[in-house]
Amino acid sequence: MANRKARPDKPDRMCYLSAPRPPDRSAAMNSITITRPDDMHLHLRDGAELASVIGASARCFARGIVMPNLMPPVTTVPQALAYRERILRCAPPAARFVPLMTLYLTDTTAPLEIRRARDSGLVFGVKLYPAGATTHSDSGVTDISRTHAVMEALAVTGLPLLVHGEVTDANVDIFDREAVFIDRVLAPLLQRFPSLRVVFEHVTTHEAVEFVRTAPANVAATITPQHLLYNRNALFHGGLRPHYYCLPVLKAEAHRRALLEAACSGSPKFFLGTDSAPHERATKESACGCAGCFSAPAAIELYAQAFDQAGALNRLDDFAARHGAAFYGLPRNTETITLDRQEWTVPAQLPFAAGAIVPLAAGETCQWKMMNS
Ligand code: DOR
Ligand code: ZN
């Protein structure tokens, strides 16, 4: 078999993965105006890194559910409020970006902290990272049974549990870890606490889509742009491509299609969460590269591309701006943004603290461009 040589200087256009447009598609839309969207799953980091990336999210999104996996993690309400202040100090004032804070669940989180979080009015969820599942998850939960008192408090307060849904069992194939998590952890948890409000974050498999679709209304899911646009081939296309590596890892094409269908279905259970997760270039282009795709610089455009490929641009507003706000009990944003069908090239890299960062889809041609940013 011919060994295709990697051409990192000449990235492929992303359309090598694109689904063909439906044949019955009426006159192509060349512009779309939607409610200003919210990013319901976002990593902003801290310090100089935060200052480098906040503008990319604030240019487009009105609000963001901010992940707590800093080092050390954000485990208490005072820590979350202090982090919120740091974000607000860094955000471009004109953007009026609103960070929606979360707490990092550990084996020792006290139920009282959940009540404090609810009473703060500024904490919107509690994040479950199985210990060792992903970036900065070392302080995560080692055994779900240790969190039962906290789950009870979450069920009572109505504060959502935000779930990184992968088992960490090394004997489970990495592509199966999400499906196994449903059977071993999530389904039993919801059986025990049926009223628990759950956001199954960054779903990547048709098993997760089916689980959420058939669950009661208190269970919803976020979907990332990378899992809508790429399948696992993107990780190995002409060579090893670390900037397409995130956790949960990209899956096979059948899973991508199931996600696209769910996102475009109009179901209020599925909404936008980019999981934009910045890592400095060298830490990704390494013998043991970090997981995470920095999607913020082109996020809404990439979602528009995915919805356009599915012939479902008319559903983008629901997915990006309505379903997430409704699940979190937030008012819908009143401003709008406009995207035009206009080709542009996603930058090869951007400044990041003292170094550089490679965004998702770097060097690829995007068909949609946000105009009022
Ligand atoms: O790819 C990922 N990166 N998945 C996560 O769950 C965490 C994130 C990060 O913080 O970099
Ligand atoms: Zn994440």
pTM above 0.85, yes or no: yes
Residue 151 falls within a domain, yes or no?
yes
Q: What is the pLDDT of residues 223-236, one digit of tens each?
A: 999 999 999 999 99
Among candidate residues 38, 39, 275, 318, the one labeled active-site is: 275
Number of domains in the chain: 1
Q: CATH number of the domain that 258 lies in? A: 3.20.20.140
The pLDDT of residue 372: 79
Q: What is the pLDDT of residues 91-131, one digit of tens each?
A: 999 899 999 999 999 999 999 999 999 999 999 999 999 99
Among residues of the chain, what percentage have pLDDT more than 90?
A: 89
Q: What is the pLDDT of residues 288-335, one digit of tens each?
A: 999 999 999 999 999 999 999 999 999 999 999 999 999 999 999 999
Number of the ligand 1 atom closest to the C-alpha atom of 201: 6
Residue 206 falls within a domain, yes or no?
yes
The pLDDT of residue 28: 73
Q: How many helices (H) and strands (E) does the chain have?
A: 13, 13
Q: Any idea which residue has 């059986």 for tokens?
A: 191
Rounded to whole angstroms, the Cα distance separating 37 from 333 reads 7
The pLDDT of residue 7: 42
Residue 364 falls within a domain, yes or no?
no
Is 101 within 8 Å of 78 (Cβ atoms)?
A: no
Q: What is the pLDDT of residues 246-291, one digit of tens each?
A: 999 999 999 999 999 999 999 999 999 999 999 999 999 999 999 9
Residues 6+ apart with CB under 8 A from 230: 14, 17, 244, 250, 256
Q: If you average pLDDT over every residue of the chain, what do you get?
A: 93
Residue 27 falls within a domain, yes or no?
no
Number of the ligand 1 atom closest to the C-alpha atom of 129: 6
Comparing 193 with 1, which gets the higher pLDDT? 193
Residue 240 falls within a domain, yes or no?
yes
Nearest of 44, 188, 177 to residue 102 by alpha carbon: 44
Is 159 within 8 Å of 136 (Cβ atoms)?
A: no
Is position 275 annotated as part of the catalytic site?
yes
The two structure tokens encoding residue 213:
């679709």
Q: Which of 162, 247, 290 to mutate to test the pocket of ligand 1 (most atoms within 8 A of CB)?
A: 247
Number of the ligand 1 atom closest to the C-alpha atom of 278: 11
Q: What is the pLDDT of residues 3-24, one digit of tens each?
A: 334 444 444 444 444 545 554 4
The mean pLDDT value for 211-215 works out to 98
Distance 95 CA to ligand 1 centre (A): 25
The pLDDT of residue 15: 43
Distance 277 CA to ligand 2 centre (A): 7
What's at 309, amino acid-wise? Q
Handedness of CA 122, 127, 131, 136 (dihedral sign): negative
List ligand 1's pocket residues with C-beta within 6 A: 43, 69, 134-136, 164, 246-247, 277, 291-292
Task: Indicate the Cα dihedral angle 139, 174, 238, 290, nearest 10°.
Answer: 0
- Expressed as residue numbers, the domain containing 73 is 36-335
Residue 140 falls within a domain, yes or no?
yes
Tell me which residue has its CA closest to atom 4 in ligand 1.
247
Residue 235 falls within a domain, yes or no?
yes
The pLDDT of residue 8: 41
Handedness of CA 45, 306, 347, 92 (dihedral sign): negative
Residue 359 falls within a domain, yes or no?
no
